[in-house]
Amino acid sequence: MSSADQAEGERTAAPVPERVGFTEEAATMIRRLTQQHGPLMFHQSGGCCDGSSPMCYQLGELRTGDSDVLLGRLAVDGVDEPVPFWMSASQFAYWSHTHLTVDVVPGRGSGFSLEAPEGVRFLIRSRLMEEDGG
């Protein structure tokens, strides 16, 4: 069992309203990366350089813990396990009023995110959460 699985089991996940979605282009890339690497996870980064980009790893590669919030699980057609999307709780405090959409654009992101060799980069697009959530 990966650390991510353990952590998810032990903590209350965020929230009833959907907080994170994905575009069809992102879904295509998630399917491709799942075929290459197996089950995946996202962790939203912050800070310098490629901060603000979602990092995509093999599930459990980054150890999540009590300092993280699970924003949602991306249910992608053709991918058996929904892909958890994490963010550090301190960052979530500043981001919680926005809904996030995982998109993908041509690029050459750095960090250890799995999609970079494909010549693309996952990107977050944001909108304000609706009053009634979602």
Q: Give SS3 for 62.
A: coil
Q: Which is nearer to another protein, 28 or 88 (CB)?
A: 88
Find the shortest distance in angstroms from Cβ 95 to another protein: 7
Find the shortest distance in angstroms from Cβ 46 to another protein: 5
Task: Find all residues with CB under 8 Å of 16, minimum gap 6, and list them.
Answer: 133
Q: Rounding to the nearest 10 degrees, give the CA dihedral for residues 83, 43, 96, 125.
A: -80
**53-59-62 Cα angle (round to 5):** 60
Instruction: Give the span between the Cα atoms of 16 and 59, in whole angstroms.
Output: 23
Nearest Cα residue to 83 out of 9, 134, 30, 46: 30
Q: Which is nearer to another protein, 77 or 132 (CB)?
A: 132
Q: Which is nearer to another protein, 77 or 98 (CB)?
A: 98
CB 67 within 8 A of CB 89: yes
Give residues 10-69 in contact with another protein (rule: CB under 8 A): 43-53, 55, 57, 61-63
Number of residues lying near another protein (CB under 8 A): 42
Segment lying near another protein (by CB under 8 A), choices 6-14, 21-29, 72-80, 84-92: 84-92
Segment lying near another protein (by CB under 8 A), choices 9-17, 24-32, 71-79, 103-111: 103-111
Residues that bind another protein (CB under 8 A): 43-53, 55, 57, 61-63, 88, 90-91, 94-95, 98, 105-114, 116-117, 120-121, 123-128
